[in-house]
Amino acid sequence: MSLPLLGCIADDFTGATDLANNLVRAGMRCVQTIGVPQGDVQLQADALVVALKSRTVPAADAVAQSLAALRWLQAQGVQQIYFKYCSTFDSTAEGNIGPVTEALMDALHGAGRGFTIACPAFPENQRTVFKGHLFVGDALLSDSGMRHHPLTPMTDANLVRVMQSQTRRQVGLVAHDVVVAGPQAIRDRFTCLQAEGAGVAVVDAISHQDLMQIGQALAGMPLVTAGSGIAIGLPQNWPQLQGRTAASPADALPPARGWQAVVSGSCSVATNAQVLAFRRSGRPSLGIDPLAMAAGEDVVAQALAWAEPLLASGPVLVYATAEPTAVRAVQERLGVARAGEMVEHALSRIAAGLVQRGVRQLLVAGGETSGAVVQALGVQRMTIGLQIDPGVPWTAADTPLCPGEPVHMALKSGNFGSPDFFTKAFAQLASQP
């Protein structure tokens, strides 16, 4: 049995499927686990992706989870470690991107030593880095909808400054003029930065070709930290992968059956547009109210009672998605942490209840929501299928809630997907052989 080549640690579940999707498209056989596997687990794959729910937990907890994932991946014999975070560099003022990067570097190289990159760019999804600044489409990150994120508001687009505030190591920049000069120029810049005392380099990238150039320059680097875009350029570094196509067995999923449902907790601009499009299409949709939950109403039972008679007629949507002003009003009443936890808990219980009622095709919008739903379903690993939109594939997973019947799931980062994503995703799944 061949050993896996790449071991990945993702800080949320949608990010893990986003990363796995890009690896599969580039020809790598990929297995995604939910959390660090326990016991003697043997997985045959080119890449292993450990999905954690560590983006917004206290930094010490994120570090502990990430180090546990690192130890497991090292025991599998991987050649390179990849720490994956969001393409909008989602983090609180304290981390967790910087603290986890520091901990992984210390574990791999020794305290204060080593060198890695930081690059959340994913041009195919309109995430680019130029002169060290992160853009979402044509807007700086700090001018995008991410400035209103309820848990990780991003108000500074300067990634060198953001990363420097979270890490003890000096942070430098590999500018775009170096990137376009090719892999050797990028490696030479790495050498210069290390000589100047830097331990982390933010790397510019504005095109797919940039990702391929950077990918070549990262061959042999023990630790890579990035969004999912950099993964597109890494498989070219392993000769045994050359010649594979994206239409490989890694894309194959079992036939889809059962009812369809969407559970949405993200309040991003993209997800608000997707919820609105679904509602305007006339399909059944139900919003849940965090203030009603706080007042003691059983919104879970109400939502399931509403959905049950509608499932046979097509997809239903249960959502807590709202505009920023409405989110802030709830947070002011309940507190940020309490509001988020209540919504996640309720939506995960609703998702579990829908599966128990026959849903076998489930879309989940939002990273935190996806993590809660996958845990509520008791999913341990997922098979990655074909891409719906950049960064979002269909997957198939087993759950003890319906033994022997796989549940097709799409875990969508809040920021990803076209306005018609919900309906398009089900149509694509139905068209698969």
Contact 167, 101 (CB under 8 A): yes
Neighbouring residues of 67: CB distance < 8 A, sequence distance ≥ 6: 103, 104, 107
Question: Residue range 350-354: average pLDDT?
Answer: 98
Task: Please state, for a pLDDT cut of 90, what percent of the chain lies above it.
Answer: 73
Q: What is the C-alpha to C-alpha distance for residues 136 and 121, in angstroms, rounded to an integer?
A: 10
- Note the pLDDT tens digit of each residue in 183-225: 999 999 999 999 999 999 999 999 999 999 999 999 999 999 9
Residue 112 in tokens: 């204060």
pLDDT class for 332, splitting at 50, 70, 90?
Answer: confident
The answer to whether residue 148 scores a pLDDT higher than 80 is no
Mean pLDDT of the chain: 92
Q: Which domains does the chain have, with CATH numbers?
A: 6-241 (3.40.50.10840), 249-430 (3.40.980.20)
| Weakest mean pLDDT among 40-54, 266-280, 307-321, 372-386 | 40-54
Q: If you average pLDDT over residues 113-135, what whole number do you get?
A: 96
Q: Where do runs of H (alpha helix) occur along 198-323?
A: 208-217, 269-280, 290-294, 299-307
pLDDT at 290 over 60: yes
What is the pTM for the complete model shown? 0.83
Tens of pLDDT along 2-61? 889 999 999 988 899 999 999 988 888 888 999 999 876 777 889 999 999 899 889 999
pLDDT score at 247: 45
Paired strand residues for 224: 82
Lowest-pLDDT choice from 161-175, 239-253, 269-283, 331-345: 239-253
Cβ neighbours of residue 31 closer than 8 Å, sequence gap 6 or more: 43, 44, 45, 47, 48, 49, 381, 383
Lowest mean pLDDT among 15-29, 169-183, 277-291, 396-410: 15-29
Look at residue 52 in the predicted model and tell me its pLDDT.
93
Mean pLDDT computed over 153-173: 94
At 144, is the pLDDT very low, low, confident or very high (cuts 50, 70, 90)?
Answer: confident
Tell me the Ramachandran region of residue 243: left when phi exceeds 0, alpha when psi lies from -120 to 50, beta otherwise: left
Say if residues 270 and 414 touch (Cβ distance below 8 Å): yes
Each residue of 69-112: pLDDT tens digit? 999 999 999 999 999 999 999 887 788 999 999 999 999 999 99
| pLDDT of 123 | 96
